[in-house]
Amino acid sequence: MDPAVSPCAITAVGIATALGIGVDATWPRLVAGDQSRLTVRDDLVPGKRMLVGQVVEPLAKIPPSLTRYACRNNALSLTALESIDAEVRRVIDRVGPRRVGVVMGSSTSGVESAETAIATRLASGALAAAFDYVQLEMGGVSEFVAARLGVTGPSYTISTACSSGAKAVVAGRSLLTLGACDAVIAGGADSLCRLTANGFTALGAVADEPSNPFSVNRRGLTLGEGAALFVLERWAAGVEVLGAGESSDAFHMSSPDPDGRGAECAMRDALADAGLAPGDVAYVNLHGTGTPLNDAMESHAIARVFGASVPCSSTKPLVGHTLGASGAVELAFSWMVLARRERGTLTLPPHCWDGVPDPDLASLSLVRKGDRAAVAGRPAILSNSFGFGGNNCAVVLGIR
């Protein structure tokens, strides 16, 4: 086998977040730490103005033949998908539609459309005419992507809260490893909705200002929406999924294990799967929600695995916490760092915060604007995603 090819290469990435649509629009804003595209909504929680990471550009139109799938969540997915349409079509033409699978992650699915439909029913006695239950089903987003592309390989959705998108990519890798597919479209999508906004507000987890992860002044998260989709191919060249680790805290429905044992287990398993030592990792994309408990446990887990020297940052202050899409979105950011490397150096996304550390957290090497990492040999990045119920997933991306 050619050593330059991989059993799970990421050959294209489509993305839609508050930073923009497509890799070319997203990358310069990501490395600049651009928080200017966060917006304010006053219609999500009664009596509250909420700062959110919303996709402000017009979204792709659902084709008339797929009108029953027409909801914002699927439109976000289609927008990300259309930004890599040529690459997707190339793969389908090469391996055939029966050998292409679809695995998506989501936690809200089409709840926003269901909210509108229910409001219409309360006012008129009938659901909104445009509403179809498939918009609300978790499986609807993967079913939509498969139908849009005309592929007939395995198709399903993973919903494990905020680790969903990362786990979808890991599941896509498994389909390739098993030989069930020659290519997989994998990723995650979640759209803003009132249910989520009110739920997190009731938990006291939403900050009034941009999230401020790992600061002593952190007050909670910023909600966001977005989609990121990957083309995964067998025996292709490119940035690859080197390893993955998954674990379950089995601790609490909405709080992480305060010791971060599940997070640590996921990271160590991902490194072992990749055949790497902690010192081989050039950068860690933190889960970094800006909530008191998540940041505390993650800082100590990172310190135990990597020590205090590995460059780290949370990218959630730039796009908000995109929930079920966040694992995929942050893997897309990590892919960009590797794909845009220059002469043995990686340009790293900055950690946007007030710079006031919490003495109760483990000390981390948080990335400043303009920081770069020098790499020799095979560069690797680890990305963390931790969800409600203790659903943990760590993924290592790298280049052979």
pLDDT score, position 2? 63
Based on the structure, what is the number of domains in the chain? 1
**Does residue 269 contact residue 246 with C-beta atoms inside 8 Å?**
yes
pLDDT digits (tens, 9 = 90+) for 317-346: 999 999 999 999 999 999 999 999 998 899
Which residues fall within 8 angstroms of residue 334, CB to CB, at 6 or more apart? Answer: 283, 285, 381, 383, 397
Catalytic residue among 162, 312, 352, 393: 162
Tens of pLDDT, residue by residue over 268-323, are 999 999 999 999 999 999 999 999 999 999 999 999 999 999 999 999 999 999 99
Taking only the tens place, the pLDDT of each residue in 20-63 is 999 999 999 999 999 999 999 999 999 999 999 999 999 999 99
Rounded (10°) CA dihedral 350, 356, 357, 358? -130
At residue 259, the pLDDT reads: 87
Q: Looking at 300, 321, 351, 393, which residue is catalytic?
A: 321
Nearby residues of 311 by Cβ (< 8 Å), 6 or more positions away: 282, 283, 284, 348, 365, 366, 367, 371, 373
Q: Would you say residue 232 has pLDDT above 70?
A: yes
The more confident residue out of 340 and 255 is 340
Which pLDDT band, with edges at 50, 70 and 90, does 3 fall under? low
Give the dihedral sign, CA 26/28/33/38.
negative
Output the average pLDDT for the chain.
Answer: 95
From 8, 71, 265, 287, active-site residue: 287
**Secondary structure (H, E, C), the chain:** CCCCEECCEEEEEEEEECCEECHHHHHHHHHHCCCCCCEEEEEEECCEEEEEECCCCCCCCCCHHHHHHCCHHHHHHHHHHHCCHHHHHHHHHHHCHHHEEEEEECCCCCHHHHHHHHHHHHHHCCCCCCCCHHHCCCCHHHHHHHHHHCCCCCEEEECECECHHHHHHHHHHHHHHHCCCCEEEEEEEECCCHHHHHHHHHCCCECCCCCCCCECCCCCECEECEEEEEEEECCEECEEEEEEEEEECCCCCCCCCCCCHHHHHHHHHHHHHHCCCHHHEEEEECCCCCCHHHHHHHHHHHHHHHCCCCEEECCHHHHCECHHHHHHHHHHHHHHHHHCCECCEEECCCCCCCCCECCCCCCCEECCCCCEEECCCCCEEEEEEEEHHHEEEEEEEECC
pLDDT at position 257, please? 81
Domain of residue 303, CATH code: 3.40.47.10
Q: What pLDDT shows up at residue 252?
A: 73
How many other C-beta atoms can be found within 10 angstroms of the C-beta atom of residue 149?
19
Q: How far apart are the C-alpha atoms of 338 and 8, rounded to whole Å?
A: 15
Q: What is the mean pLDDT of residues 232-259?
A: 88
Rounded to 5 degrees, φ, ψ at 364 are -125, 155
pLDDT of residue 129: 87
Mark whether 162 is an active-site residue: yes
Active site residue 300: no
Q: Is 321 a catalytic residue?
A: yes
Q: For 162-182, what is each residue's pLDDT tens digit?
A: 999 999 999 999 999 999 999
Domain that holds residue 189: 5-398
119-167 residue pLDDT tens? 999 999 999 889 999 999 999 999 999 999 999 999 999 999 999 999 9
Residues above pLDDT 70, as percent of the chain:
98
